[in-house]
Chains A and B, each alone.
Chain A
Amino acid sequence: MSDIQLWTLIFAIVTFSIYIYIAYASRVGTTSGFYVAGGGIPAPANGAAIAADWMSAASFISLAGIVAFANNGYAGSVYLMGWTGGYVLLALLLAPYLRKFGKYTIPDFVGDRYNESARMVAVVAAIVVSFVYVAGQMAGVGLVFQRFLGVGTTTGVVIGMAIVFFYAVLGGMKGITWTQVAQYTVLIIAYLIPAVAVSTKVTGVPLPQVGFGQILEELDGLQADLGLSAYSGAFTQVNMLNMVLITAALMFGTAGLPHVIVRFYTAKSVRAARYSALWALFFIALLYTTAPSVAAFSKLQIIQDLQGTALSDVPGWFNTWADVGLITQADGSPISELAASTTLNYTDVAINNDIIVLASPEIGGLPAPIVGLVAAGALAAALSTASGLLLVISSSVANDVYYKKVNPQATEARQLMVGRIAMGAAILVAGYLGINPPGFVAQVVALAFGLAAASFFPVLVLGIFWKGCTAMGATAGMVTGLVVTMAYMLWTIDIYGNSEGIFGIAETGFGTIGMLINFAVTIIVSQFTPKPSPVMQELVEEIRFPGRSTLVAKHAEGELEV
């Protein structure tokens, strides 16, 4: 066993023990504890949990690589602005009002505010979005185990499933929340240490966000020498229209994602929900402002290491990743086919986006314990998001389908049991999808945001800000937005149609158009359909004001006929 494997094993065992201990200490016995952690989580902890919930294996492992390699720098900004800008919308337009409404899930809000058919559309959308996502997380766990511990992907996924099973089934939302707080701590430390070390080494400035500026000119110059467009140059890969549409789709999609929204129900009060959004974005920004710096430093270092170097002289990290097939020749054939004396050209090598962060300590020449720490951080990011998503799936099944539809007389103990069984089943499906990822998962994860934007965002916002928004309007809007967006995506996505689309709009940006269509349909249909009951209108008015309210309380207790 190498030093790196040993340290990875040590960090994995230590962090997993912490998660399991926390989950055991916060085990629950009520549905409210299982679904929303009793609604009593203080704002900073809730913010850290949102950050961990939100920042997935993709944020931790892939983001820097996507910015540096897939998009030539500037174009990668759609992810940086899109995924953080959505929190402004969440904080201002949704979080306080949804918390005041006081429910367990998004379908719960949709069902209560509109009607039962709207609830079912929301259940289906929430489950689809969550499963697509969770498959990617499980595959991420497998990747980390395979690379750092040398165990098979399947074994890695099974270990991940067992850990999540333990703390999510036992502790529900309460266990997940406190585990996520620990996971956030692990993942942010693991991300910042190598970034600070590399920035200090290359520029003498310990703050990567500032050191970043010192190398941009050099990086732009190196890219020019290679015949590539400037790293910081605008619209070299994506045109302005698509930049706007994709950024917007990610922003509005973030504000409509079920596993993020449910987190605002776990806040103590309306005020705590507002502060949770602030803490969440602050914690996320620590990683999201560091990621583009890591991207630029890694790209600079990689070009310098490889350009004009003989294959026999390349640094160790190159061989490590070439061996597992994540660095190949530009046409995809293995590096091992090349003679040892070959002189490398940066542009002749294809580097997988996913290795940048995992390899950054090695690229920067940092010691083995730090490599192990980064592996533990990646596992924390994947497991925390997976558990949040699994909770959305199990609560949608147990609360919105079983309790609301199948057996409204179910006792609390029985609801809790159904929740735990649903959670267990969801983990098995997620594990299966992680071991046998369907080809479309990677494509669809980016699309999930478009779907969330086109389905949930308008009905949530209109439900709060427009008393006259009707059930039929909302249902028609959700269905149209979802169907139109899915149709466009299937028509244009590589593996199905690969058409140019309309005006060259990228499938990842079409969610914005779908959302506008949803808004239009909801508003128009609402004009011609029966208005919400006077009690419901009063209730909508009531959630706009924080503080004590008998009407909202009565509604939450289920004592109100609307």
Chain B
Amino acid sequence: MDQRQRQEYWRKNLRLMASLLAVWAIVSFGAGILFVEPLNNVVVAGFPLGFWFAQQGSILVFVALIAIYVVRMDKLDAEYGIDEYEQEVHHS
């Protein structure tokens, strides 16, 4: 990667991270805490929705967010020709 490609790669990575973290904040702090009371007026399959987000929904979304991240990063790496994931070194 040359300098310009590096900047592009890093910017795309940061943008992906920012959008995933926005969703992370919206489901946990938003749906699970700040807006829990209005959401609790909606009941789905026995669950008041705000309560569901706080106890189940946010956890499921967290798993989905990391899944999207690893797949998109694989694609990004491929786009910039990073295909060598050799065992990286350790030493101190």
A residues lining the B interface (CB < 8 Å):
32, 36, 38-40, 67, 73-74, 76-77, 80-81, 84-85, 87-88, 91-93, 96, 99-100, 102-104, 108, 209-210, 212-217, 232-235, 240, 243-244, 247-248, 251, 265, 268-272, 274-275, 277-278, 281-282, 285, 288-289, 292, 399, 403-404, 541, 544-548, 552-553, 556-558
A85 close to B24 (CB less than 8 A) = yes
Nearest-CB residue, chain B, relative to A549: B88
B residues lining the A interface (CB < 8 Å):
1, 6, 9-10, 13, 17, 20-21, 24, 28-29, 32-34, 36-37, 40, 44-48, 50-52, 54-56, 58-60, 62-63, 65-67, 69-70, 73-74, 77, 82-92
Nearest-CB residue, chain B, relative to A203: B46
B66 close to A74 (CB less than 8 A) = no
Q: How many A-B residue pairs have CB under 8 A?
A: 178
Contacts of B56 in A (CB 8 A): 209, 212, 289, 292
B92 close to A553 (CB less than 8 A) = no
In the assembled complex, the Cα of A544 lies from the Cα of B1 at a distance in Å of: 12
Contacts of B67 in A (CB 8 A): 278
Known: A88-B24, A216-B48, A274-B70. 11 other contacts (CB 8 A): A85-B62, A92-B20, A96-B73, A102-B90, A209-B56, A270-B88, A285-B63, A403-B92, A545-B6, A547-B83, A553-B89
Contacts of A104 in B (CB 8 A): 90, 92
In the assembled complex, the Cα of A248 lies from the Cα of B54 at a distance in Å of: 13
B87 close to A93 (CB less than 8 A) = no
In the assembled complex, the Cα of A87 lies from the Cα of B1 at a distance in Å of: 30
In the assembled complex, the Cα of A76 lies from the Cα of B87 at a distance in Å of: 41
Contacts of A240 in B (CB 8 A): 33-34
In the assembled complex, the Cα of A547 lies from the Cα of B80 at a distance in Å of: 11
9 residue pairs, one from A and one from B, having the closest CB atoms: A213-B46, A77-B54, A547-B82, A232-B51, A269-B85, A292-B55, A234-B36, A556-B89, A213-B45
Interface centre among B9, B29, B73, B88 (most CB of A within 10 A): B88
B90 close to A556 (CB less than 8 A) = yes
Contacts of A548 in B (CB 8 A): 84, 86
B87 close to A545 (CB less than 8 A) = no
In the complex, how many angstroms separate the beta carbon of B41 from the nearest chain A beta carbon? Answer: 11
Nearest-CB residue, chain A, relative to B67: A278
A92 close to B92 (CB less than 8 A) = no
- Offer 17 A-B interface pairs, CB within 8 angstroms, sorted by A: A39-B88, A74-B51, A81-B59, A85-B58, A88-B24, A103-B92, A214-B46, A216-B46, A234-B51, A251-B28, A272-B85, A274-B73, A278-B66, A285-B60, A404-B92, A547-B84, A558-B91
Given contacts A77-B32, A85-B62, A88-B66, contact A547 B85 (CB under 8 A): yes
In the assembled complex, the Cα of A32 lies from the Cα of B88 at a distance in Å of: 12
Interface centre among A99, A212, A545 (most CB of B within 10 A): A545
In the assembled complex, the Cα of A234 lies from the Cα of B50 at a distance in Å of: 9
Contacts of B65 in A (CB 8 A): 88
In the assembled complex, the Cα of A290 lies from the Cα of B45 at a distance in Å of: 17
In the complex, how many angstroms separate the beta carbon of A178 from the nearest chain B beta carbon? Answer: 18
In the assembled complex, the Cα of A38 lies from the Cα of B89 at a distance in Å of: 9
Nearest-CB residue, chain A, relative to B14: A465
Nearest-CB residue, chain A, relative to B39: A234
In the assembled complex, the Cα of A288 lies from the Cα of B51 at a distance in Å of: 15
Contacts of B87 in A (CB 8 A): 39-40, 268-269
In the complex, how many angstroms separate the beta carbon of A149 from the nearest chain B beta carbon? Answer: 34
A546 close to B33 (CB less than 8 A) = no
Contacts of A541 in B (CB 8 A): 6
Contacts of B83 in A (CB 8 A): 547
In the complex, how many angstroms separate the beta carbon of A322 from the nearest chain B beta carbon? Answer: 30
Out of B10, B52, B66, B89, name the residue touching A102 (CB < 8 Å): B89
In the assembled complex, the Cα of A269 lies from the Cα of B85 at a distance in Å of: 6
B37 close to A234 (CB less than 8 A) = yes
Given contacts A104-B90, A269-B88, A281-B66, contact A88 B17 (CB under 8 A): no
Contacts of B59 in A (CB 8 A): 80-81, 84, 285, 288-289
